[in-house]
Structure 1
Amino acid sequence: MRKHNLRLILFICSIASLSGVILGYDASVISGVIDPLTEHLNLSPWESGWAVSNVILGCVLGAWGVGYISDRIGRKSTLIITAILFVISAVGAALSNSLTDFVIYRLIGGLAVGMASAITPLYIAEVSPKDWRGRMLGLQQMLMVGGQVTVYVVNYLIARGMSHAWIVSDGWRWMLASGVVPCVLFLLLVPFMPESPRWLALKGKTDGALKVLTRLSNAQHAEHLLQEILASANVHTAQSRQSGILRDARARYILLIGCAIAILQQVSGINILLYYAPSLLQNITGSTQASLFQSIFLGLALLVGVAICLSVIDRIGRTPLLRWGAMGCALCLMFTSWAFIAQVDGVIPVIGLVAFVFIFGMSWSLGAWLLISEIFPNRMRAVAMGFAFSSMYVANFIVTQSFPMMNRSQVLMAHFHGAFPLMLCALGSLVAFWFVRRFLPETRGVSLEHIEPLMLSKSHRFASTAQRPTEQPSKPEWSNSN
Structure 2
Amino acid sequence: MTPQGRYNIKYVLLICAVSALGGLLFGYDTAVISGAIGPIKSYFGLDAAGVGWAVSNVAIGCIVGAFAAGAIAGRLGRKKALVLAALLFTVSALGSALVDSFSWFIVYRLIGGVAVGLASAVSPMYMSEVSPKDMRGRAIGMQTFAIVFGQVAIFTINYLIAKGASEAWLVDMGWRVMLGSEVIPCLLFCLVVMFIPESPRWNVIKGNDAAALTTLRKIYNGPYPEKVLKEIKDSLKQRQLEQQQKRKIDYRNDKAFWFIAFVGCMIAVLQQTTGVNVMMYFAPVVLEQATGNNEAALFMTIWIGVVQLIGTSIGAFLMDRVGRVPLLRIGAIGSTVGLLVTSYFLYHAAGLAGAEAVRNGYFILSGMLLFMLFFAFSWAVGAWVVVSEIFPNRMRSEGMSLAIAAMWVSNFCIGLGFPLMNDNAFLLEHFNGAFPMWLFAGCCVLSYFFVTRFLPETKGVTLEQMEETMLSKTRLEAKEVPAAMVRANG
Confirm or deny a common fold (TM above 0.5).
Answer: yes
Residue 417 of structure 1 and its aligned partner are, at CA, apart by 1.3
Q: Which residue of 1 aligns with 2:16?
A: 13
Q: 1:3 aligns to what?
A: 3
Number of aligned residues: 467
Letter in structure 1 aligned against 2:422: N
Q: Which has the higher contact order (CA 8 A, sep 6+)?
A: 1
Aligned match for 1:356, one of 350, 368, 371: 371
Of 157, 162, 166 in structure 2, the residue corresponding to residue 159 of structure 1 is 162
Number of the residue aligned with 1:91: 94
Q: Distance in 2 between matches of 1:411 and 1:186?
A: 47
Counterpart residue number, 2:444? 429
Is the counterpart of residue 398 in structure 1 residue 413 in structure 2?
yes
Question: How many angstroms apart in 1 are the aligned matches of 2:458 and 2:70?
Answer: 23
Q: Does 1:259 align with 2:265?
A: yes
Aligned to 2:308: 302
What CA deviation, in whole Å up to 9, does each residue of 1:149-183 have, x standing for no partner? 11011111111111111111001000000011111
Kept in 1: contact 2:91–2:108 (CA 8 A): yes
Residue number in structure 2 paired with 1:338: 344
Counterpart of 2:147 in structure 1 is 144
1:68 and 1:151 map into 2 onto residues whose CA distance is: 31
Q: Residue in 2 aligned with 1:171?
A: 174
Secondary structure of the 2:3 match is coil
User: SS state of the match for residue 429, structure 2?
Assistant: helix
Q: CA deviation at 1:454?
A: 4.9
Stretch of structure 1 that moved more, 19-28 or 304-313: 304-313
Deviations 1:287-321 (A, max 9, x none): 11111111111111111111222333333333332
Shift of 1:371: 3.2
Structure-2 change in CA distance of 1:444 and 1:129 (3 Å): farther
1:321 aligned onto 2:327:
yes
Counterpart pick for 2:185 among 182, 186, 203: 182
Match of 1:370 in 2: 385
* CA–CA distance in structure 1, aligned partners of residues 188 and 16 of structure 2: 15
Range that drifts further, 298-307 or 229-238: 229-238
Counterpart check, 1:278 vs 2:287 = no
Displacement after TM superposition at 1:377 (Å): 5.2
Residue in 1 aligned with 2:317?
Answer: 311
Q: State the secondary structure of the residue aligned to 1:343.
A: coil
Name which of structure 1's ranges 306-315 and 292-301 shifts more when overlaid on structure 2.
Answer: 306-315
Amino acid at match of 1:323: R
Identical positions, percent:
44
Partner of 2:104: 101
Q: Structure 1 residues 454, 411: CA separation in 2 closer, same or farther (over 3 Å shift)?
A: same
Matched with 2:33 is 30
Asked whether 1:292 is paired with 2:307, we answer no
CA distance, structure 2, for counterparts of residue 465 and residue 76 of structure 1: 42
- How large is the RMSD of aligned CA atoms in angstroms? 3.1
CA-CA distance at 1:67 after TM superposition: 2.6
Quick check: 111-120 or 317-326, which moved more? 317-326
Say which SS state the counterpart of residue 162 (structure 1) adopts.
coil
SS at match of 1:89: helix
Q: CA–CA distance in 2 between the matches of 1:442 and 1:194?
A: 37
TM-superposed CA distance for 1:86, in Å, is 0.5
Task: Answer with 1-10 or 401-410: which moved more.
Answer: 1-10
Q: Measure, in 1, the Cα distance between the counterparts of 2:44 and 2:414.
A: 23
Residue 426 of structure 1 aligns with an amino acid whose one-letter code is: A
Q: What is the rounded CA distance, in whole Å, between the counterparts of 2:241 and 2:450 in structure 1?
A: 29
- Asked if the contact 2:12/2:130 (under 8 Å) is kept, the reply is yes
The residue that corresponds to 2:78 in the other structure is 75
**Are 2:324 and 2:457, in contact at CA under 8 Å, matched by a contact in 1?**
yes
Q: Which segment is superposed worse, 178-187 or 211-220?
A: 211-220
After superposing the two structures, state which structure 1 stretch, 105-114 or 258-267, moved more. Answer: 258-267
**Rounded Cα–Cα distance in structure 2 between residues aligned with 1:180 and 1:215:** 32
Query: For residues 14-70 of structure 1, what are the alpha-carbon distances to aligned partners after superposition, in whole Å with 9 as ceiling and x for unaligned?
Result: 122111110111111101111101111111111111111111111122222223333
Conserved? CA contact 2:346–2:433, under 8 Å: yes
- The runs of 5 or more residues in structure 1 that have no matched partner are 468-482
Report deviation, 1:207.
6.8
| Equivalent residue letter for 2:116 | V
Q: Are the equivalent residues in 2 in contact too, given 1:65–1:386 (CA < 8 A)? A: no
- Superposed displacement of residue 10, structure 1: 2.0
Contact 2:256 2:481 in 1 (8 A): no
Look up the equivalent residue of 2:318 and give its one-letter code: V
Partner of 2:488: none
Q: Retained in 2: the 8 A contact 1:86–1:109?
A: yes
Deviation per CA, 1:259-290, whole angstroms, max 9, x where unpaired?
A: 33221211111111111111111232111111
Q: 1:185 to 1:134 in 2, by over 3 A?
A: same
- The alpha carbon displacement at 1:395 in A equals 0.2
Structure 1, 442-451 or 11-20: larger mean CA deviation: 442-451
> Partners in 1 of 2:122 and 2:390 — Cα distance?
15
The Cα of 1:75 is off from its aligned counterpart by 2.8
Q: Is 1:410 matched with 2:425? A: yes
In structure 2, do the counterparts of structure 1 residues 63 and 132 end up closer, same or farther at CA, with 3 Å as the change threshold? Answer: same
Q: Which one-letter code corresponds to 2:178 in the other structure?
A: M
> What is the TM-score normalised by the length of structure 1?
0.86
- The CA deviation string for residues 57-101 of structure 1, in whole angstroms up to 9 with x for no partner, is 111222222233333333333222111111000000000101111
> What's 2:355 paired with?
none
Tell me which of 105, 116, 120 is aligned to 1:117: 120
Secondary structure at 2:412's aligned position in 1?
A: helix
Residue type of the alignment partner of 1:310: A
- Matched residues in 1 for 2:316 and 2:178: separation? 29
- Whole-Å Cα distance in 2 between the matches of residues 146 and 46 of structure 1? 30
SS at match of 2:349: coil
Contact 2:330 2:374 in 1 (8 A): no
How far is 1:375 from its partner?
4.1
State the TM-score, normalizing by the size of structure 2.
0.85
Q: Deviation of residue 392 (structure 1)?
A: 1.2
Instruction: Structure 2: give runs of 5+ residues left out of the alignment.
Output: 351-359, 483-490
Q: Return the structure number with greater helix share.
A: 2
Q: Is the 8 A contact 1:457 1:464 kept in 2?
A: no
CA distance in 2, matches of 1:453, 1:199: 32
| CA distance in 1 between partners of 2:412 and 2:331 (Å) | 23
Larger radius of gyration: 2
Using the TM superposition, give the Cα deviation of residue 445 of structure 1 relative to its aligned residue in structure 2, in angstroms.
5.1
1:138 CA drift (Å): 2.4
| Mapped pair 1:53 → 2:56 | yes
Change (3 A) 1:221 1:365: farther
How far apart are residue 391 of structure 1 and its match?
A: 1.6
Task: Report the alpha carbon displacement of residue 210 of structure 1 after superposing the two structures with TM.
Answer: 6.6
Report the more deviating stretch, 369-378 or 52-61: 369-378
Q: Secondary structure at the match of 1:347?
A: helix
Task: Say whether 1:63 aligns with 2:73.
Answer: no
Shift of 1:412: 0.7
Q: Is the 8 A contact 2:22 2:189 kept in 1?
A: yes
Q: Which letter does structure 1 place at the counterpart of 2:177?
A: W
Aligned mates of 2:134, 2:113 — CA distance in 1: 33
Aligned match of 1:479? none
How far apart are the structure 1 equivalents of 2:251 and 2:186?
Answer: 34
Residue range with higher mean Cα deviation, 379-388 or 399-408:
379-388
